[in-house]
Structure 1
Amino acid sequence: MVIKTECIRGRVFVIRAEANLAFFQYIDGAYNARCIQKRLGYLSPIEYEEKHYADQAATEQVNLKPRQPALTS
């Protein structure tokens, strides 16, 4: 994936600040969100977050077992 090709090429910017803003928005909004990362287990941040919340929901389901009434003697 070439960022210059995906974000900048073919667009005309009046001032450098416009190009910097477009580049920042692309990096922050699109590229970083879908680029796989080694420290996240080779998942993108979006995939990692989805997996985290799915695992968390599954854990909560397990922890919601009904309590057994205490036996009284």
Structure 2
Amino acid sequence: MAEALNSVYKAELIDRREWSGVIEVMAETSKWVAWYNHVRLHSALHYRPPIEAHSDWIKQQTTTGVAA
């Protein structure tokens, strides 16, 4: 799973441009991770962002009394 994520990261961000240095890569990586976790629509989650699906799961656990 981690290797698949790394491949997506490299294909979508790293390999698409020339970088001026490590600081620039770190800043853009931070933005990409935020997008990946909070904005992108995931087909396996019925085209919802992962953070929304996780939030719904937490609410469900709370309302059903299941410990997270």
Deviation at 1:35, TM superposition (A): 1.1
**Count of matched residue pairs:** 49
Q: Could you say which structure has the larger radius of gyration?
A: 1
What TM-score do you get using the length of structure 2 for normalisation?
Answer: 0.57
Gaps of 5+ in 1: 5-12, 62-73
Task: Give aligned-pair identity as a percent.
Answer: 18
1:31-50 CA distance string (max 9 Å, x none): 11221111122111110111
Gaps of 5+ in 2: 1-11, 14-18
What TM-score do you get using the length of structure 1 for normalisation?
Answer: 0.54
Which portions of structure 1, spanning 4 or more consecutive aligned residues, are displaced by more than 3 angstroms?
none
Is 1:55 equivalent to 2:60 in the alignment? Answer: yes
Summarize the alignment of residues 15-26 of structure 1 with structure 2, pairs less than 5 Å apart: 15-26=20-31
Cα RMSD of the aligned pairs, angstroms, is 2.6
